Amino acid sequence: MSSNRTYRALPRGALVLAGAVALAASSTTWAAPTKGAPAEQKINELLREILAAPELEDAAVGVHIRDVQTGKTLFQRNGTRLMNPASNVKLVTTAAALAKLGPSYRFSTIAYRDPDLRGGTLNGNLYVKGRGDPTLTNETLFGLVNEIALKGIDRIQGDVIVDDSFFDNIYEGPGWEQERSDQSYAAPMGALSVNFGTFSVRVVPGDGGYGAAKVMVWPNIPMFEVSSDVVTRGRGTPRRLFVGTTQEGDKVKVTVRGFIASDDHLGANIYKRVYEPTVYAGQVIYALLEMRGVKIKGKVKVGRVGRGALPIAYLASEPLAEIISTLNKYSNNFIAEQILKTLGAELGDGPGSWASGCRVIGGFLEEIGITKGSYVMGNGSGLNDINRFTPEQITMILEAMHKRFDVRPEFEASLAVAGKSGTINSRFSNTPAESRLRAKTGTLTGVSALSGFVVTREDRLLAFSVMMNGYQGRARAMWTVQERIGNALAELQGANVIAQPAGIDQWPNRPASPKNPK
């Protein structure tokens, strides 16, 4: 569910950004700067050479490096230019959420019943009200359903009414219109949502290893209708599957085509987005109630908790700090947008919306010195081409969070660790930055970003933001440049800087990595 994948091309000319950097040979070695030169001069010498890489010829590049303790800018190139940060905007969303809601904030889901309960029969409706929990799954909801049953309810004469009024009724955020997709990374948002707004399609070989393959949808609820012509082929046949979905009325039509090998016993598991998150959650709750043995006469309906209804079960999420750790390490779009709308619901006027959430975040940004109108924020995840921040603004946020004792540990621990965890677990391995750099990635077509913290050889903490917009070619080439920058900063020390040898990825005297041994 990560947003660090190809979504949509950044329109060329969408903003007037920086021109191309100078052309230079990518194999150029790093020259050691003047001995005894101040850190600012060393950083400038190293980064100017790195940013002359030929793969950046067609790219607009923004870089800002800040000393976290002093707030002083050590290096910048186009640091004040607005750029598409992609998923680096999640740093903005999560910083504001920790600062405004607090690390211990918990989302809640509450069940209510009408008052008339006699002999296990509820003569009325059951209500479930969502309050934005982005982590509800079939498993956690079953805990709520079990509590409902344990309150003595074994039959419901009325309906199961799901209440999503904590948010507005707009399920897709600004930017979703740029790409009509059924992919899981573009899931819709509702105050009562389950399974990150997605469902899974399972495909396994047919019985006996031949004939039609078995295709199942999970959760198995009335919303989904499956049409399949997947066949089982001989052993070792490369798997080839197509799964498409369309919404037709209150149904989601799932079409599966292709083939699977007879010995592909693990099968395939493909995730797709839903279209009506509240109805989806309601049908899951209804199915879980029946699984628990509760008989229901009525249907699933979207509505409000009835007047006089009694609260009977409560489900709390994990603390916000733990949820944000998952969000930032794995770049979960759904969680980011649920948090943004929750900010609006808790601290704004009326139900949570993208507009009210962005206003709350705007207030946080003004508190740390980022003025209204100096950036563009439409959603909280960075999906598609809608947000604009400067590299300098991102390092301002990083510095501000580091200086807040109440949220610093949770914020910094939420970032992926170079060579160890999250979206950079396979990057920076066996380099100076391994385990010394924590960052958030961002990737769209033509957009790559990396922002976070790095500790130098003399334990000086730096905040950095690197944004590349409008580049041609593969994101991996941008990652290589970002990694050169991260490694240069990690190797920085007061009087001497280790010059990089011609083999850009070969660092002398570094311990072998278990994942990438020398």
Asked whether 156 and 125 are in contact (CB, 8 A), the reply is yes
Assess whether 152 and 221 both reside in one domain: yes
For the segment 228-256, what is each residue's pLDDT rounded down to a tens digit? 999 999 999 999 999 999 999 889 999 99
The yes-or-no verdict on residue 32 having pLDDT over 90 is: no
- The burial class, CB within 10 Å (0-12 / 13-18 / 19+), for 368 is middle
Rounded mean pLDDT, 384-405? 97
What pLDDT shows up at residue 501? 35
The yes-or-no verdict on residue 31 having pLDDT over 90 is: no
**What is the domain extent for residue 295?**
107-317
Q: What angle do CA 155, 160, 163 make, to 5 degrees?
A: 145
Q: Please give the backbone phi and psi of residue 301, each rounded to the nearest 5 degrees, phi first.
A: -135, 150
Asked whether 464 and 485 are in contact (CB, 8 A), the reply is yes
Rounded mean pLDDT, 336-344? 98
What pLDDT shows up at residue 453? 98
Assess whether 161 and 190 both reside in one domain: yes
Assess whether 219 and 334 both reside in one domain: no
Residue 7 lies in a domain: no
For the segment 40-59, what is each residue's pLDDT rounded down to a tens digit? 788 899 999 999 999 999 99
Assess whether 199 and 311 both reside in one domain: yes
Q: Please give the backbone phi and psi of residue 120, each rounded to the nearest 5 degrees, phi first.
A: 90, -5
Assess whether 83 and 175 both reside in one domain: no
DSSP string, 290-356: HHTT-EE-S-EEE--PPTT-EEEEEEE---HHHHHHHHHHHTBHHHHHHHHHHHHHHHSSSSB-HHH
Note the pTM of the prediction, 2 decimals.
0.87
Asked whether 495 and 36 are in contact (CB, 8 A), the reply is yes
Residue 345 lies in a domain: yes
Among the candidates 317, 332, 360, a domain finishes at 317
What pLDDT shows up at residue 3? 44
What pLDDT shows up at residue 344? 98
Q: Compute the CA torsion angle 222, 223, 227, 233 (nearest 10 deg).
A: -80
What pLDDT shows up at residue 494? 59
What gap in Å lies between CA 245 and CA 223, rounded to an integer? Answer: 12
Instruction: At 97, list the tokens.
Output: 């959420």
For the segment 57-97, what is each residue's pLDDT rounded down to a tens digit? 999 999 999 999 999 999 999 999 999 999 999 999 999 99
Residue 18 lies in a domain: no
Among the candidates 317, 335, 352, a domain finishes at 317
What pLDDT shows up at residue 28? 30
Give the pLDDT band of residue 37 (cuts 50, 70, 90).
low
The yes-or-no verdict on residue 297 having pLDDT over 80 is: yes
DSSP string, 409-451: HHHHHTSEETTTSGGGTTSSTTSTTTTTEEEEEEEEBTEEEEE
* CATH number, residue 378: 3.40.710.10
Three-state secondary structure of 273-305: ECCCHHHHHHHHHHHHHHHCCCEECCCEEECCC
Give the pLDDT band of residue 179 (cuts 50, 70, 90).
confident
Among the candidates 299, 317, 335, a domain finishes at 317
Residues contacting residue 224 through CB under 8 Å, at least 6 positions apart: 199, 217, 251, 252, 254
Asked whether 85 and 79 are in contact (CB, 8 A), the reply is no
Question: pLDDT > 90: what percent of the chain?
Answer: 82
What gap in Å lies between CA 33 and CA 153, rounded to an integer? Answer: 75
Number of domains present in the structure of the chain: 2
Residue 67 lies in a domain: yes
